[in-house]
């Protein structure tokens, strides 16, 4: 009968446990000195060795050949039975399916019976956080003062859900996700035993897919072995077998973000969809790809973290959306429209005033190289007002929603190179929307192209202080929806 690799290569002694060297060392010392606690709490993510370590403790306490030891013989009747999970004095309880008070009362009734074949009865309660409060209370006294022949080992992935009174009665060990070094070493051992050839890039991919779980890593590795039967396992075959997005596609998408080409980005996402590639998995893999770029400093830290944050924020908000392309459109919008520079590197600037009225002393503001930023442009409010409508036309052409936000807005004063734009108090929402970078950049770009590359914009409520105490009251639900999806009302 076929045996899965995870069960076949489950550690049979403490030396085979991957990672958690400090925890294993402490437990081995306790066994060697015969100073074991009556209750343990093993906390940590799935597949990192909590239950395996508990079984090894049962071996160390009940080995017939070596006595209480940190090096069980694995040959005696008790060691073999524990390894096979048939040892009568090792009781494993799944708290997820035996979580009620009746099951715990049954445990308490049997706990006083002495071991049938071993020195200690070892109770391993997996997913202990699933027990009800009543069940916890029922076991509390027994856990505090169990019979001398009993050892409790509680395992959980969510220690925060366990009552503090329970935790205080246990010796707690926190297991961590495995490092790549530890996981790789174990996978290489398995590959050599199975006479499999695998490259480091494939092992790295298996580790990333496992999330630091040794059990998951071995299961994924077994899938690779089956898929590449009789062939060398390389990165290309591994990516195909595990459904991993090829790196060249992620590089292409990063180029799209860098170039700011939204139409190319949408076409790219549509192509993924048509080729039956999982868009959600693509963005999760992209997040890991960007993480690698951050580590190697191939991308600016702030930009890389924003991309990762946008990906997981969007995946969480729209996790029930069936058409995953829409997630991609949102992510694309966040990173193109919010992060794109307002002005390109080469722009031909016009003069502010083409004709000066008779008797007016103001002089045209001549174009200057972009690198020069004068402290004062001698710009007047009248000059800005003359080109205001032209600037609005250009900005609205880039983003039609600005027509609604800027309706009724007007320049109110100019200080040095800053143009202050005023809104009536009832248009507070429009002001707040224009202060967002993704909206302001279109108007700012238009003004800079007409007036001067160094001008800036600021927005104010006409009349000073805001008259609205809670701006949420002035924003309709429809406005919020339009804002989030970057849409428009028609």
357 lies in a domain? no
Choose between 79 and 451: higher pLDDT: 79
Same domain, 26 and 144: yes
Confidence of residue 336 (pLDDT cuts 50, 70, 90): low
State the first-to-last Cα distance of the chain, in angstroms, to the nearest integer. 66
| Mean pLDDT over each residue of the chain, to the nearest integer | 82
Same domain, 331 and 394: no
Contact (Cβ atoms closer than 8 angstroms) between residue 441 and residue 340? yes
Same domain, 201 and 286: no
Q: pLDDT (tens digit, 9 = 90+) per residue, 65-78?
A: 999 999 999 999 99
Asked whether the predicted pLDDT for residue 64 surpasses 80, the reply is: yes
Q: pLDDT (tens digit, 9 = 90+) per residue, 19-53?
A: 889 999 999 999 999 999 999 999 999 999 999 99
Q: What is the pLDDT averaged over residues 315-321?
A: 81
Same domain, 318 and 386: no
Residues of the chain above pLDDT 90, percent = 35
Confidence of residue 489 (pLDDT cuts 50, 70, 90): low
Residues of the chain above pLDDT 70, percent = 85
Q: What is the pLDDT averaged over residues 213-233?
A: 89
Same domain, 418 and 466: yes
- Which of 70-79, 110-119, 299-308, 438-447 has the highest mean predicted lDDT (pLDDT)? 70-79
What pLDDT was estimated at residue 232? 84
SS (H, E, C) the chain: CCCCHHHHCCCCCHHHCCCCHHHHHHHHHHHHCCCCCCEEEEECCCCCCHHHHHHHHHHHHHCCCCCCCCCCCCCCHHHHHHHHCCCCCEEEEECCCCCCHHHHHHHHHHCCCCCCCCCCEEEEEECHHHCCHHHHHHHHHHHHCCCCCEEEEEEECCHHHCCHHHHCCCEEEECCCCCHHHHHHHHHHHHHHCCCCECHHHHHHHHHHHCCCHHHHHHHHHHHHHHCCCCCECHHHHHHHHCCCCHHHHHHHHHHHHHCCHHHHHHHHHHHHHCCCCHHHHHHHHHHHHHHHHHCCCCCHHHHHHHHHHHHHHHHHCCCCCCCHHHHHHHHHHHHHCCCCCCCCCCCCCCCCCCCCCCCCCCCCCCCCCCCCCCCCCCCHHHHHHHHHHHHHHHHHHCCCHHHHCCCCEEEEEECCEEEEEECHHHHHHHHHHCCHHHHHHHHHHHHHHCCCCCEEEEEECCCCCCCCCHHHHCCHHHHHHHHHCCCCC
Task: Lowest mean pLDDT of 11-20, 37-46, 316-325, 348-357, name the range.
Answer: 348-357
What pLDDT was estimated at residue 285? 87
30 lies in a domain? yes
Same domain, 387 and 471: yes
Q: What is the pLDDT averaged over residues 336-353?
A: 44
468 lies in a domain? yes
**Can you tell me the distance from the alpha carbon of 357 to that of 354, in angstroms, rounded to the nearest whole number?**
10
Same domain, 198 and 94: no
Choose between 375 and 379: higher pLDDT: 379
Q: pLDDT (tens digit, 9 = 90+) per residue, 234-248?
A: 888 888 888 778 888
92 lies in a domain? yes
Q: What is the pLDDT averaged over residues 141-170?
A: 90
Contact (Cβ atoms closer than 8 angstroms) between residue 411 and residue 421? yes
**Can you tell me the distance from the alpha carbon of 253 to that of 299, in angstroms, rounded to the nearest whole number?**
14
What pLDDT was estimated at residue 367? 43
How many domains are there within the chain? Answer: 4
Contacts 24+ apart (CB under 8 A), 178-184: 178/18, 178/19, 178/48, 178/207, 178/212, 178/213, 178/214, 178/217, 179/19, 179/212, 180/204, 180/207, 182/18, 182/19, 182/214, 183/18, 183/19, 183/207, 183/210, 183/212, 183/214, 183/217
Q: What is the pLDDT averaged over residues 113-139?
A: 89
Same domain, 159 and 285: no
Same domain, 12 and 156: yes
Same domain, 238 and 299: no
Confidence of residue 487 (pLDDT cuts 50, 70, 90): low
Asked whether the predicted pLDDT for residue 95 surpasses 70, the reply is: yes
Residue 229 has φ and ψ, to the nearest 5°, of -55, 125
- pTM of the model as a whole: 0.61
Q: Which residues contact 229 (CB under 8 A, 6 or more apart)?
A: none
State the CATH number of the domain containing residue 435. 3.30.300.180
Considering 313, 337, 361, which residue would you say is the last residue of a domain? 337
Q: pLDDT (tens digit, 9 = 90+) per residue, 440-468?
A: 998 998 898 888 888 899 999 986 544 44
State the CATH number of the domain containing residue 218. 1.10.8.60
Same domain, 19 and 138: yes
369 lies in a domain? no
Asked whether the predicted pLDDT for residue 349 surpasses 70, the reply is: no
Same domain, 156 and 18: yes
Domain containing 159 equals 5-174
What pLDDT was estimated at residue 472? 45
308 lies in a domain? yes
Q: What is the pLDDT averaged over residues 133-142?
A: 83
Nearest to 266 by CA among 333, 342, 319: 333
Confidence of residue 231 (pLDDT cuts 50, 70, 90): confident
Confidence of residue 350 (pLDDT cuts 50, 70, 90): very low
What pLDDT was estimated at residue 480? 52
What pLDDT was estimated at residue 240? 81
Considering 120, 142, 174, which residue would you say is the last residue of a domain? 174
What pLDDT was estimated at residue 43? 95
Choose between 407 and 290: higher pLDDT: 290
Considering 146, 174, 202, which residue would you say is the last residue of a domain? 174
Quote the crossing angle between the two packed helices 247-259 and 262-274, to the nearest 10°: 160
State the CATH number of the domain containing residue 142. 3.40.50.300
346 lies in a domain? no
Q: pLDDT (tens digit, 9 = 90+) per residue, 237-294?
A: 888 888 778 888 889 999 888 888 888 888 898 888 888 788 888 898 899 889 989 9
374 lies in a domain? no
């Amino acid at each position: 009968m076929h045996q899965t690799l995870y069960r076949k290569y489950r550690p049979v002694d403490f030396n085979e446990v991957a990672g958690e060297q400090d925890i294993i060392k402490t437990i081995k010392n306790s066994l060697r000195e015969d100073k074991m606690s009556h209750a343990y709490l093993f906390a940590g993510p799935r597949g990192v060795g909590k239950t395996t370590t508990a079984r090894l403790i049962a071996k160390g306490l009940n080995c017939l050949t070596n006595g209480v030891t940190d090096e069980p013989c694995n040959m005696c009747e008790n060691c073999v039975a524990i390894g096979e999970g048939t040892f009568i004095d090792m009781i494993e309880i799944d708290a997820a399916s035996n979580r009620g008070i009746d099951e715990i009362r049954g445990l308490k009734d049997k706990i006083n019976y002495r071991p049938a074949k071993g020195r200690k009865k070892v109770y391993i309660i997996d997913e202990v956080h699933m027990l009800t409060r009543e069940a916890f209370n029922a076991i509390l006294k027994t856990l505090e003062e169990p019979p001398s022949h009993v050892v409790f080992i509680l395992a959980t992935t969510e220690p925060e859900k366990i009552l503090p009174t329970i935790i205080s009665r246990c010796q707690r060990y926190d297991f961590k996700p495995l490092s790549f070094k530890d996981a790789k070493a174990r996978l290489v051992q398995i590959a050599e035993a199975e006479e499999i050839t695998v490259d480091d890039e494939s092992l790295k991919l298996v580790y990333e897919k496992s999330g630091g779980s040794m059990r998951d890593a071995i299961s994924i590795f077994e899938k690779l072995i089956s898929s590449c039967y009789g062939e060398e396992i390389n990165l290309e075959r591994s990516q195909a077998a595990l459904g991993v997005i090829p790196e060249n596609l992620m590089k292409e998408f990063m180029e799209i973000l860098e170039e700011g080409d939204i139409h190319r980005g949408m076409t790219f996402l549509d192509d993924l969809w048509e080729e039956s590639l999982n868009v959600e998995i693509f963005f999760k893999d992209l997040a890991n790809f960007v993480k690698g770029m951050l580590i190697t400093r191939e991308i600016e830290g702030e930009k890389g973290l924003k991309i990762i944050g946008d990906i997981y924020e969007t995946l969480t908000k729209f996790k029930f959306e069936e058409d995953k392309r829409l997630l991609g459109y949102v992510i694309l919008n966040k990173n193109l429209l919010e992060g794109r520079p307002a002005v390109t590197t080469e722009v031909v600037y016009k003069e502010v005033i083409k004709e000066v009225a008779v008797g007016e002393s103001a002089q045209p503001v001549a174009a200057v190289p972009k690198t020069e930023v004068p402290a004062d442009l001698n710009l007047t409010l009248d000059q800005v007002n003359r080109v205001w409508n032209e600037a609005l036309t250009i900005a609205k052409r880039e983003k039609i929603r600005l027509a609604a936000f800027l309706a009724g807005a007007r320049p109110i004063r100019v200080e040095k190179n800053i143009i202050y734009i005023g809104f009536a108090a009832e248009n507070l929402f429009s002001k707040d929307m224009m202060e967002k970078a993704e909206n302001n950049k279109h108007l700012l770009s238009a003004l800079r192209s007409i007036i001067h590359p160094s001008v800036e914009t600021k927005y104010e409520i006409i009349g000073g202080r805001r008259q609205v105490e809670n701006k949420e009251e002035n924003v309709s639900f429809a406005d919020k929806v339009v804002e989030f999806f970057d849409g428009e009302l028609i």
